[in-house]
Amino acid sequence: MSALLLRDLRLAFRSGGGFGLALAFFLIVATLVPFGVGADPATLARIAGGILWVGALLACLLSLDRLFQTDWEDGSLDLIATAPVPLEGAVAVKALAHWLTTGLPLTLVAPVLGVLLNLAPAAYGWLVLSLALGTPALSVIGAFGAALTVGLRRGGLLLSLLVLPLYVPTLIFGAEAVRRGAEGLDPATPMLLLAGITLGAAALLPFAAAAALRVNLR
């Protein structure tokens, strides 16, 4: 398991993978929003939490097609499927590697972009906490979508169409938690729902993704 995790991390950094691409995209989204909606501080403060969550979600989506596609093309996926390690565990490790190279950096850089969007000071802690709770769900759900579309030519568009509707609850509760934090309201309810989504996805979707991979490998 640890060897597979280290391998995926090395591949992600060597190829420029999700790490640099996701951060660049996140920065571009946060930079372009003031040009599109205007530089009014009150307007930016009102939409900052939602914009940052949308940017993080789309940035996570960029590198999902590489979760299994590279292994499929070079034959490594067959070896992983026949290894003594359960395929469900391999899927979970790949989702973890995706989060470490995409979701975690986005979580750490989000407060910096929050300054650019005039995010309310009271919301910074809730922004980081909500992203830390929600982005693992994005990676696990994305792994499930990537498993369904592995082996398809130009499956990136189909992957996006499959995964984006599944991302909506995470986006809603994450943005709501930041909004409540910014307004001084209690964000406990959306945070608990966000944690529930992440725990449920982590418990169930590796099994569904492994089943999809077995079907595609036949």
As a whole number of angstroms, the distance between CA 195 and CA 214 comes to 29
pLDDT at 112 over 60: yes
> Looking at per-residue confidence, does 37 or 197 come out higher?
197
For the stretch 17-28, pLDDT in tens is 556 788 889 999
Helix segments in the chain, DSSP class H:
2-14, 17-37, 41-62, 69-74, 76-82, 87-98, 104-116, 124-149, 156-182, 188-217
Calculate what percentage of the chain has a pLDDT beyond 90.
53
Q: Is 60 exceeded by the pLDDT of residue 29?
A: yes
Split at pLDDT 50, 70, 90, the class of 76 is confident
Q: Is the pLDDT of residue 139 over 70?
A: yes
Q: How many CB atoms lie within 10 A of CB 164?
A: 15
What are the φ/ψ torsions at residue 185 (nearest 5 degrees)?
A: -90, 170
Q: Which contacts of 190-197 are long-range, i.e. CB under 8 A and separated by 24 or more positions?
A: 190/130, 191/126, 191/129, 191/130, 191/133, 193/169, 194/130, 194/133, 194/134, 194/137, 194/170, 195/133, 197/134, 197/137, 197/169, 197/170, 197/173
Separation between Cα atoms, residue 47 and residue 84, nearest integer Å: 48
Using CA atoms, how far apart are residues 10 and 160, in angstroms rounded to an integer? 25
Domain map (residue ranges) of the chain: 2-217
**Choice between 142 and 2, residue whose per-residue pLDDT is larger:** 142
* Most confidently predicted of 58-62, 149-153, 203-207: 203-207
> Over the stretch 116-133, which tens digit does the pLDDT of each residue have?
899 999 999 999 999 999
Residues above pLDDT 70, as percent of the chain? 95
Question: What integer best gives the mean pLDDT of the chain?
Answer: 88
The model's pLDDT over 144-184, given as tens digits with 9 standing for 90+, comes to: 999 988 877 766 788 888 899 999 999 999 999 999 999 99
- The predicted pLDDT at position 126 comes to 96
3-state secondary structure of 150: coil
